[in-house]
Structure 1
Amino acid sequence: MSVNVRFWDRLARRYARMQVRDPEAYDRKLAMTRAHFPPDARVFEFGCGTGTTALKHAPHVGHVTAIDCSANMIGIAREKAAAEGIGNATFKVASLEDMPEAPGAWDMVMAHNVLHLLPDRQGALARVNRMLKPGGAFVSSTACAARAPWLFRAILKTGHALRLLPLFNFLTEAQLKAEIEAAGFEIAEEWLPPGGRSALFLIARKKNELPRGPS
């Protein structure tokens, strides 16, 4: 079992009990996201945790499919969906790389609090681009902690080296936006909630593919 899976499996029940740190900012992100749903939207989320955001959006879309590497997290998400009577949300134990290639299958892809944890962020962004329809939306909320105190950075790096903590990449806001744009997106909206520990919220659009000329 990988470090990531072991860590999140252990944390799952406690994570599910955690309160949203800034409910006002969270509600604003939900509203900004919903403004980009087409009718009967097909939405995909990776790194969904216990499914809170997917379930918040489910009543506003055609269907949402959400995945996470942790079986314990997905188990809780399924419990919550059943308790809330939500039938148009599917939760699967998987990583983004496990998903079958289905070019242009999704209206929106979401990645909340996960991009800074990926070992191959550029590869993931390229895959997301392929998954989306032309003009489809990629919505992300990402910790950009490059300016975090050195002790915090040292603790996370040491914990990962000892295989106790997941990988944590210390990004800047500019670096993240440049990587998303380089993957074939145009940033439509960005918002950094007030507070030193806030995550950068981005809504990016897949660029429409140029028509091919004669060969």
Structure 2
Amino acid sequence: MPQTSRFWDKIARRYARRPVDDPAAYEAKLAKTAEYLTPDSEVLELACGTGTTALWHAPKVRHVLATDFSAPMLEIARARAAEQGVENVTFRQTAIEALEVAPASYDMVMAHSILHLVDDRQVVYALARAALKPGGHFVSSTVCLGRLSPMRLILVPGHAIGLLPQVRFLSADGLAAEIEAAGFEIVHRYRPKRLSAVFFVARKRP
């Protein structure tokens, strides 16, 4: 069953107030991402949440289409854009599986903190590959707890009673293999700590 936005709608304002867990790692990911951008870049972000990453990259590119299925998350993102005077980010409410984009129209697709949450990662990969121009980049940061993680004892019951989203227990190497099998070449991999999210920059193969 596809996940709904209900959980994320409910926590949107609390989520927006939460500080970044590892600021140094987050800044390193932003800086590495920017290396693959130009002032002419067209960027698509999937599951943009409250817009922090989209707005950070906006001054470096032509345009960002930032999507999310949670209306309260996007309400906060739009308010932040207005406060910062950012005019080249378009926020659109949509589920990933319902998003339609012109083929080969983006230089980068970002999918942060989402691959461990979606029901079908192949949908994300297929969308990214179709949306990217030849040689374009798919950039992701994903929680990889491992298939035998003891966190199951917290996360599975937490989801069952509605306190937590459903989390897929992925391995970093397994996710890398999945991304490459979907038609990408991983050109950068970063994981600052053993249980940190795994950051990949992957180039679309011909």
Do the structures match in fold with TM over 0.5? Answer: yes
- Could you list the runs of 5+ residues in structure 2 that have no partner in the other structure? none
Partners of 1:120 and 1:165 lie apart in 2 by 19
Deviating beyond 6 angstroms after TM superposition, the runs of 4 or more aligned structure 1 residues are none
Please report how far the alpha carbon of residue 155 of structure 1 lies from its aligned counterpart in structure 2 after TM superposition.
Answer: 2.4
Partners of 2:199 and 2:82 lie apart in 1 by 29
User: Does the 8 A contact of 1:143 with 1:199 survive in 2?
Assistant: yes
Partners of 2:121 and 2:45 lie apart in 1 by 15
Q: How is 1:176-191 mapped onto 2 (pairs within 5 angstroms)?
A: 176-191=175-190
User: Does the 8 A contact of 1:42 with 1:106 survive in 2?
Assistant: yes
Larger Rg: 1
Of residues 119-128 and 141-150 in structure 1, the stretch that sits farther from structure 2 once superposed is 141-150
2:197 aligns with 199
Partners of 1:41 and 1:187 lie apart in 2 by 20
| TM-score (norm: length of structure 2) | 0.94
Structure 1 169/108 Cα, relative in aligned 2: closer, same or farther at 3 Å? Answer: same
Please report how far the alpha carbon of residue 147 of structure 1 lies from its aligned counterpart in structure 2 after TM superposition.
Answer: 6.0
DSSP 3-state at the match of 1:100: coil
DSSP 3-state at the match of 1:168: coil
Question: What's the RMSD between the two structures over aligned residues?
Answer: 1.6
**Residue 102, structure 1, aligned to residue 95, structure 2:** no
Question: Sequence identity, in percent?
Answer: 53
Q: How is 1:1-215 mapped onto 2 (pairs within 5 angstroms)?
A: 4-146=4-146, 149-150=149-150, 152-194=151-193, 196-208=194-206
DSSP 3-state at the match of 2:15: helix
Partners of 1:20 and 1:159 lie apart in 2 by 22
Instruction: Count residues in correspondence.
Output: 205
Partners of 2:101 and 2:21 lie apart in 1 by 35
Please report how far the alpha carbon of residue 37 of structure 1 lies from its aligned counterpart in structure 2 after TM superposition.
Answer: 0.7
| TM-score (norm: length of structure 1) | 0.90
Q: What amino acid sits opposite 2:84 in the alignment?
A: E
